[in-house]
Amino acid sequence: MAEGTDEVTEVTEETEVTPVTAEATALSKIKLRLRITTDAFDTEITDLMNTALADLGIAGVNGTSAVITDSLVLTAVSTYVKMMFGEPDEYDRLKASYDEQKAQLSMATNYTVW
């Protein structure tokens, strides 16, 4: 990883080196959790990720910058995206789950900004 950047390098089968940002890595993890393989929705998913991070930040959760490295924050963001993406059949269950995750993160010592 280059010093001072959030960039990692991925080596493909053809040994071609491609830079991958941490945001792209989070996007690919969330797409995997949503079972989405196309890139057609990347802009919408990224917008939802940023909205979830902003919502968590308002609740006082640390580590909600554009770079998602914490697995608990990634899970909360994934739940939010799944809840808001398209027309989910289980909106109420996902909303309750996200609200619980947000509440737990906002009360945890290592995750709060106060």
pTM of the model: 0.76
What's the pLDDT at 79? 97
Reported as type and span, the H/E element at residue 28 is: helix 22-34
Q: What pLDDT score was predicted for residue 25?
A: 86
Q: What is the pLDDT of residue 98?
A: 98
- What's the token pair of residue 59? 């609740």
d(C-alpha 32, C-alpha 50), whole Å: 18
Q: Which residues does 84 contact at the CB level (< 8 Å), separation at least 6? A: 48, 51
pLDDT at 23: 61
In degrees to the nearest 10, what's the CA dihedral of 4, 76, 39, 25? 30
| Per-domain residue ranges of the chain | 22-111
Q: How far apart are CA 105 and CA 55, in angstroms?
A: 12
Per residue of the chain (114 residues), give pLDDT as tens: 444 544 444 544 554 544 455 667 889 999 999 999 999 999 999 999 999 999 998 998 876 665 678 889 999 999 999 999 988 899 999 999 999 999 999 998 888 866
Pairwise CA distance, residues 112 & 114, whole Å: 6
C-alpha 10/C-alpha 47 separation (Å) is 24
| pLDDT on residue 110 | 85
